[in-house]
Structure 1
Amino acid sequence: MARRGRRYKPPSSAPETEQPEALSRILRTEAAVSGVSRKAAASRQQSTRLWPRAVLEALDSAVASNRWDSALEIFELLRKQHWYKPRSQTYARLLMMLGKCRQPAAATALFKVMLSERLKPTVDVYTALVGAYGYSGLLDEALATVDQMKGTAGCNPDEYTFSVLINCCSKLRRFDRIPAILDEMSYLGLECNTVIHNTIIDGHGKAGMLEEMENALSNMLEDGNNVPDIYTMNSIIWAYGNHGRINEMEMWYSEFQLMGVEPDTQTFNIMVKSYGKAKMHEKIISVLKYMKKHFFSPTVVTFNIIIECFGQTGNIEKMEYYFRLMKIQGVKPNPITYCSLVNGYSKAGLLNKVPGIIRQTENTDVVLDTPFFNCVISAYAKSGGIKIMEEILQLMKEKKCKPDKVTYTTMIQAYNAHGMDEAAKLLNMEVERVDGKLLGPVSEVDNK
C-alpha cells in the first residue's frame, strides 16, 4: 500500500507536533481520526504535510481491523497529502474491507473516486468490487461487474474472481446460479480449481444440502485435476457432525485419511463440537486422548467448545475441570471462555459464582466485550436479579464497552416481565435519545 523503503523528509515548515510516533498514536485510535480531521479543516497547509509513515500505518490499522468508516476518513486525509500517488493496490484493499463490512454503497463511491483519479482498475480491484456487491447480497450487481471486467482491456476475470463470485452464491444459497458461472469459466478457458470445488462443497454443507454436497465432492474427484485437501475434509465432517449424523462424520473422517488427507486441530475441534451436541461425552475424551498421543495441542477454541459442552449439560464439575486444565496448559482464556462459564453457571442456578468470573478477568489482560456483558446481563435478567443487572450495565459502561441492541432489549424485556413498565419506558427513551436506530421492536428479538 505504500513505499516503505524510503523515509520521507518533511519540509522544514512542518509543525513540531507532527512527529511520526505521536501522529501514529493519534491516527491509530477512533477518537484521533476526528482529531486529525479537525486539524485538516483548521489548516489546509498543515493537513497536506503529515508524515507518510504515520498516515499509512494508521490506514493499515483501520483496514486490518475492518473499521471501514475510520479507514475511509484516513484515506481522504491521505489523498490530500502532497506526496500522495494513487495506487490500485490501495483501492483493492479498501474495497475488500468494504466487502467484509457489507458496505456496497461506500464501495461504489470509492470505485468512482478511483476512476476520477484516472487510475485504471486492475483485476484485483474489480474482484474486490465483485465481493463488495456479492457479500452484501447484491448478486446481480456482482455479475454485472464481472461482465464489465470482460469488456475492459487486460481485465478478464480470473480463477480468483470466479471463486469470489461462487462463494457469494454459496453464502446467499443461490446454488442455481453456479452452473452458469462454471460454464462461463470453461468458455474463458479457466479451470475449476480446488478452491472453487471446496467453496461449492462447503456452501452445500452449510446449507444442509448433504446429498448435493456429496455430488459436488464426486465432481471434484472425477475432475482428476484437483484432489481433496484438509479444507474439503473439514467441510464434509462439519456438515455431517452439525446435523447430528455422527456415523457419516466418522466414516468420512476415515475415508479422507485413506485418500491421504491428514486431520488438523480444526478437524478435532469440529468433531469435539459434534460429539458435544450429540451428548457423546466419552467420545470427546477419546478425541482429546488421540490429540495428545499424536502431539496435537488443544487451542483456546478446543477448550471453549468443551467448556460450553459441559456447561450446557449442567456438568459444572467437568466444566470447571477443563477450565483449570486450560490454564495449567498455558492456553489463555478469552471472552468466549468466560461467557461459556457464565452460561454454565446460569443454567445450573449458580449465579453466585458469576462475580468471581468477573473478578478473575480483572487480573488478566483479557478485554471483555459486549457479548460477554450481554451474557451476564441475560443471566441476571432470567433469574430476576434486576438490581445486579443494572449494576452490570453500569460496569459495562465503565469498561468503555458499548451496549448494543441485545443489551437493551434484554433489559427492557426483563423490566416488562417484572411489571416495571416505567423503568422499561425510561430505558427505551434513553436508547432513542442516544441512537434511535439502535433498538428495533422488542418483539423481534428472542428473549434468550
Structure 2
Amino acid sequence: MATLVNSVSPLTNPSPETARTACGFFSNVPKFHSFSLNKGFTRVLASTQITISPKDSVLTLPNWKVGRNGTRNREIRLNDAFFHLEFIVEKGHKPDVAQATQLLYDLCKSNKMKKATRVMEMMIESGIIPDAASYTFLVNNLCKRGNIGHAMQLVEKMEENGYPTNTVTYNSLVRGLCMHGNLNQSLQLLDKLMWKGLVPNEFTYSFLLEAAYKERGVNEAMKLLDEIIAKGWQPNLGRVPEAFSIIQNLGNKQRSSTHDFYKGVITSLCRKGNTYPAFQLLYEMTKFGFVPDPYTYSSLIRGLCIEGMLDEALEIFRLLEENDYRPILDNFNALILGFCKSGRTDLSLDIFEMMVEKGYTPNETTYTIIVEGIAHEEEKELAAEVLKELLLRQVMRRNTAERLVLQYNLEALPV
C-alpha cells in the first residue's frame, strides 16, 4: 500500500477534440479553458489611498474577491491587496488577521509563493501570530513547487521568532526533500526533528522509506527500516486481527455486515483527514477477507484530496487499472470534486476529459461539481454560460440549475 502515497507525473492533457465530441456540451461554450490559476501577471501598484488610523487600530485590505470577472482582473486585485498590506505594515499598523491569512492562501493558489511568504513575514512583523494551518499550508506549497530551500529558511525564521514547528510541518519538508532526491538531507532533518523533541509519525517514515527504495533499491530501504525500528519506532496497526475477529462475531450475532462496518470506519477516517490510517486499516483488512468496493475507493480519493495530496489521489486510478479494476463513475466524480475543492478546477476539467475519453458518460452530479467549481473560482459569467448550455442539451434538470443560480448568485436562466 505504500505505493499509493507516491507522487505521479503531472497529468498529461488528453485530446480536447475527442473529449468534447464525446461529452457534447463543451463544443459551443467559448473559452471554457480560458482561466488558469498558475499564470503570472505584471506587478500592479496600488492606486487607491489608505486612510491612516491610530497604530493600535486594525486596518482592512481592499476586497480582492469582489469586482469584474476574469483572471487578469482578479490577479490585479490580488496584487493590489498585497501592496496595501505592505504599505500598512511599513507604517507600523496591524492588518486584519482573517484578511491577511486569506490573502496568503489565495497567493499560494495563484502560484505567487514569494508574495505568500512575504505575507507570513509581514504578519509576524506586525505582531500577528499566524495559525498553524496557514503556516503548514505555506510550507507544504513551497515544497510541492520545489522551493525546498525557501521552505526550510521560512521554518528557521519562524522558529527564531518563537513560533513552534510541529511534526506535520516537518513532514512537508521531509516529503519535499524525498520527492526531489535528497534522501541524505531528509535523514538529517529527521535527526533535527527528534532532537527538538518532536515525534516522527507514520507519514515521516513512509516518505523516507519510499525515497530510500527509489534512490537505493529494496535492500537499502530494508536497512533503513531496521535502523528506524532500532531507534524505537514500532509500527502500530491497532491489533487488527483481534478487532476483525470480534467485529465478525458481533456481526454474525446481530446479522449485520462486517464489510459495511469497516467501510464506514474507513470513510470516517478519510472525512476527518486521517487518510493514512485508513490505508493502513484497508491493507490489513484485505488479509482477513475484506474486499473494498468502489465507494471505499471514492472515500480514499476524497480523503487524499482533503489533505491536499492530489497527485496521490490520481495515482489510485493508475494502480487500480494496472490491477484490472475498472473505476466507476462515482470514483471519477470524487476525484473531480476533490480537485475543485482544492482550488484546481482547471485540472478537474482535464480529469473530466480523460474520463470521457475512457468511455464514461457524465451524469448530473458530474456537471454540478464542475459548475460549482467554476463558480467558486469567481468565474460566474462562465459558470452561468455553461449552466445554460447544460440545460439546452437536457443533461441537467431545471430545478438543479435554478438551485445553482440562487446558491452562487448567477445570471438568471432563460424562461
**Bin for the TM-score computed over the shorter chain:** 0.3 to 0.5
Where relative contact order (Cα < 8 A, 6+ residues apart) is larger, the structure is 2
Give the structure with the higher percent helix: 1
| Greater Cα radius of gyration, structure 1 or 2 | 1
* TM-score, scaled to structure 1: 0.43
